Amino acid sequence: MEKLQIEQVKEELKQLEGWKVEDDRWLVKRFRFSEFLTGIDFVNQLANLSEEVNHHPFISIEYKVITVKLTSWRAGGITELDMNLIKQYDDIYQKFK
């Protein structure tokens, strides 16, 4: 999969809430939950989706805040696969609101 131009990524992110680019190679978002176990349920759903497509994010759990970082190592940056996955992560998050 081919790496996207960072300007293109930033333009697409304007349509999504909370996602940022770090170091021109990572997509990063912090998700907040009212309960610890709700965040854990969210992480489990992200993990299952990520396993299905064999593309795994870094996930940090800090009590009720889940931070997700995603990149494509082989491409050396952000790809269309990453962009598609973060939209699906947002869709999963909406179910918890």
For the chain, domain boundaries: 6-94
Structure tokens at 36: 């610890």
Architecture of domain 6-94: 2-Layer Sandwich (3.30)
The Cβ of residue 43 has, within 10 Å, a number of other Cβ atoms equal to 19
Average pLDDT over residues 8-33: 97
Is 73 strand, coil or helix? coil
Whole-model pTM: value is: 0.95
> What pLDDT shows up at residue 48?
98
Virtual CA dihedral for 93, 68, 37, 34, nearest 10 degrees?
A: -60
Cα 93 to Cα 4, 13, 43, 49: the distances in Å are: 25, 17, 10, 13
> What pLDDT shows up at residue 36?
98
Strand order in the sheet with 26-32: 20-22, 26-32, 65-70, 58-62
> What pLDDT shows up at residue 1?
84
